[in-house]
Structure 1
Amino acid sequence: MPVGLVLSVLAAQAQAPARTVTAFDADWRFLQQDAPAAAQIAFDDAKWTTVAVPHDWSIAGTYDQAAPTGRGGGYLPSGVGWYRKQFMLPETDRARRVMVEFDGVMANSEVWLNGQQLGQRPYGYSSFAYDLTGKLNYGPGQANVLAVRADNSVQPASRYYTGAGIYRHVRLVSLSQVHFAQWGVYVATPQVSAAQATVRVQAEVMNQAAQAGTYVVETTVLDPAGKVVKTTQTSQPVAAGSTVVFTQEIAVPKPQRWGVRQPVLYKAITRLRQANAVLDEQATPLGIREAKFEAATGFWLNGENLKIKGVCLHHDAGALGAAVPLAAWERRLNLLKQVGVNAIRTAHNPVAPEFLDLCDRLGFLVLDETFDTWTAAKNNGEQGYNRFFTEWWRADTRDLVRRDRNHPSIVLYSVGNEIHDNLNDAAGFQKYKEQQDMVHQLDPTRPVTMALFRPGQSKVYENGFAETMDVVGQNYRENELVAAHEAKPARKVIGTENTHVLSAWLALRDKPFMAGQFLWTGFDYLGEADWPETTNNQGLFDRAGFWRPLGYQRQSWWATQPVVHVVRREENAGAGAWVANWTPTDFDTYDDAKVQVYSNCDEVELFLNGKSLGAKPKPADDSPRAWDVTFAKGTLRAVARNKGKEVAADELRTAGAPAKVVLSTERPTLAPGWDEVAYITARVVDANGVPCPNGTQQITFSASGPGRVIAVDNGDVRSHEAYQASVRATYLGQCLAIVRASAPGGSITVQATAPGLAPGSLTLAAAK
Structure 2
Amino acid sequence: MELDFNRDWLLMKEDGSSCHVNLPHDAMIHEQRSFSNRNGDKTGFFPGGKYVYKKEFSLDSRSSDEQIIIHFNGVYGRTKLLLNGQNVGNHLYGYTPFDVDITDASVDGQNVLEVIVDNTLVPNTRWYSGSGIYRMVTLIRRDRTHIDDVRINTVCINPPTIHVSCNMKNANVIIIDADGKIVAEGPLGDLVIENANLWSSKTPYLYTCQISTESEYVEKKFGIRELKWSSEKGLTINGQVEKLRGGCIHHDNGVIGACAFKDAEYRKVRILKEAGYNAIRSSHNPCSESLLDACDEFGMYVLDEAFDGWYMPKNHHDYSRVFWDEYKSDLSTMVERDYNHPSVIIYSIGNEVSEVGTEEGIKLASEMTEFVRKLDGSRPVTCGINIMLTVWAKQGMGIYRDEAEYVAEPLPELDYVEEKKSGSAFFNALAQKLGSLMSTQTKTKKAGVVVDGIAGSFDVLGLNYGQCRYDMELKNHPERILLGTETYIGDLAYNWSRVMSSNVLIGDFCWTAMDYIGEAGIGAWQYEANKEMPLLAGSGAIDILGNADAQNGFQKVVWGLEDIYIGVRPVNMSSQKVLKKAWRFTDAIPSWNWPGYEGEKAHVEVYSNGSYVKLELNGKTLGKKRVKGYRTDFVCKYDKGTLTAISYDLLGKELARTVLSSGHGISELSVKAEKKNMKANGQDLNYIILESIDEAGIWCPAEEKELTVSIEGPAVIQGIGTAKPYSNRSFTDNAQKTYQGRCQIVIRSLYEPGEVTIHIKTADGMDKTVRMDVM
Superposed displacement of residue 226, structure 1 = 2.0
Superposed displacement of residue 755, structure 1 = 2.0
2:642 to 622, 635, 646: 635
1:454 to 378, 387, 392: 387
What amino acid sits opposite 1:691 in the alignment?
Answer: W
Superposed displacement of residue 671, structure 1 = 3.0
Alignment of 1:2-401 (within 5 A): 20-33=1-14, 48-138=18-108, 142-181=109-148, 184-193=149-158, 196-205=159-168, 216-233=170-187, 248-271=189-212, 273=213, 278-378=214-314, 381-401=315-335
TM-score, normalisation: structure 1: 0.85
SS in 2 for 1:504: helix
Superposed displacement of residue 304, structure 1 = 1.4
Q: Is contact 1:662-1:759 (8 Å) kept?
A: no
Worse overlay, 159-168 or 575-584: 575-584
Give distance in 2, aligned partners of 1:421 and 1:103. Answer: 30
Deviations 1:484-504 (A, max 9, x none): 232111001111111111333
Q: Is contact 1:99-1:131 (8 Å) kept?
A: yes
Superposed displacement of residue 754, structure 1 = 1.1
Give distance in 2, aligned partners of 1:227 and 1:262. Answer: 19
Worse overlay, 364-373 or 119-128: 119-128
Check 1:574–1:564 CA distance in 2 against 1; reply closer, same or farther (3 A cut): farther
Matched length: 696
Check 1:748–1:135 CA distance in 2 against 1; reply closer, same or farther (3 A cut): closer
Q: Is contact 1:479-1:507 (8 Å) kept?
A: no
SS in 1 for 2:209: strand
Q: Is contact 1:584-1:590 (8 Å) kept?
A: no
Q: What residue is the counterpart of 2:600 in the other structure? A: 590
2:680 to 672, 683, 692: 672
Q: Is contact 1:474-1:481 (8 Å) kept?
A: no
Worse overlay, 76-85 or 622-631: 622-631
Superposed displacement of residue 201, structure 1 = 1.5
Q: Is contact 1:340-1:559 (8 Å) kept?
A: no
Superposed displacement of residue 628, structure 1 = 3.9
Give distance in 2, aligned partners of 1:312 and 1:167. Answer: 21
Q: Is 1:535 paired with 2:468? A: no
Q: What residue is the counterpart of 2:700 in the other structure? A: 692
2:377 to 422, 426, 444: 444
Give distance in 2, aligned partners of 1:31 and 1:767. Answer: 29
Q: What residue is the counterpart of 1:715 in the other structure? A: 723
Deviations 1:309-346 (A, max 9, x none): 11111110121111132222222222212221000100
Worse overlay, 400-409 or 688-697: 688-697
Check 1:721–1:668 CA distance in 2 against 1; reply closer, same or farther (3 A cut): same
Larger gyration radius, structure 1 or structure 2: 1
Deviations 1:123-158 (A, max 9, x none): 1111111222222212xxx21111111111011110
Check 1:559–1:744 CA distance in 2 against 1; reply closer, same or farther (3 A cut): farther
Give distance in 1, aligned partners of 2:654 and 2:234. Answer: 35
Check 1:423–1:583 CA distance in 2 against 1; reply closer, same or farther (3 A cut): same
Alignment of 1:420-499 (within 5 A): 420-425=354-359, 427-454=360-387, 457=391, 461=450, 463-499=452-488
SS in 1 for 2:480: coil
Superposed displacement of residue 717, structure 1 = 1.1
Q: Is 1:517 paired with 2:519? A: no
What amino acid sits opposite 1:132 in the alignment?
Answer: I
Give distance in 1, aligned partners of 2:210 and 2:299. Answer: 22
Q: Is contact 2:595-2:640 (8 Å) kept?
A: no
Q: Is contact 1:375-1:390 (8 Å) kept?
A: yes
Structure 2 portions without partners, runs of 5+: 395-446, 522-531, 579-586
Check 1:558–1:180 CA distance in 2 against 1; reply closer, same or farther (3 A cut): same
CA RMSD of aligned residues (A): 2.8
Worse overlay, 403-412 or 643-652: 643-652
Check 1:75–1:630 CA distance in 2 against 1; reply closer, same or farther (3 A cut): closer
Q: Is contact 1:573-1:594 (8 Å) kept?
A: no
Deviations 1:422-462 (A, max 9, x none): 5331x212211221122111111111010011167265655
Worse overlay, 330-339 or 502-511: 502-511
Q: Is contact 1:221-1:268 (8 Å) kept?
A: yes
Give distance in 2, aligned partners of 1:104 and 1:97. Answer: 21
What amino acid sits opposite 1:363 in the alignment?
Answer: G
What amino acid sits opposite 1:389 in the alignment?
Answer: F
Give distance in 2, aligned partners of 1:574 and 1:750. Answer: 37
Give distance in 2, aligned partners of 1:544 and 1:467. Answer: 41
TM-score, normalisation: structure 2: 0.84
Give distance in 2, aligned partners of 1:635 and 1:494. Answer: 41
Structure 1 portions without partners, runs of 5+: 1-19, 36-46, 206-214, 235-247
Q: Is contact 1:540-1:549 (8 Å) kept?
A: yes
Q: Is 1:731 paired with 2:751? A: no
Give distance in 1, aligned partners of 2:34 and 2:342. Answer: 42
Superposed displacement of residue 718, structure 1 = 0.9
Superposed displacement of residue 33, structure 1 = 1.9
Q: Is contact 2:201-2:300 (8 Å) kept?
A: yes
Give distance in 2, aligned partners of 1:705 and 1:637. Answer: 47
Superposed displacement of residue 79, structure 1 = 1.6
Check 1:500–1:702 CA distance in 2 against 1; reply closer, same or farther (3 A cut): same
Check 1:556–1:311 CA distance in 2 against 1; reply closer, same or farther (3 A cut): same
State percent identity of aligned pairs. Answer: 28
What amino acid sits opposite 2:151 in the alignment?
Answer: Y
SS in 2 for 1:200: strand
Q: Is contact 1:370-1:416 (8 Å) kept?
A: yes
Worse overlay, 412-421 or 732-741: 732-741
What amino acid sits opposite 1:437 in the alignment?
Answer: E
Q: What residue is the counterpart of 2:424 in the other structure? A: none
Superposed displacement of residue 686, structure 1 = 3.9
Give distance in 1, aligned partners of 2:304 and 2:122. Answer: 26
Check 1:706–1:52 CA distance in 2 against 1; reply closer, same or farther (3 A cut): closer
Worse overlay, 255-264 or 218-227: 218-227
Check 1:575–1:84 CA distance in 2 against 1; reply closer, same or farther (3 A cut): closer
Superposed displacement of residue 672, structure 1 = 3.4
Q: What residue is the counterpart of 1:406 in the other structure? A: 340
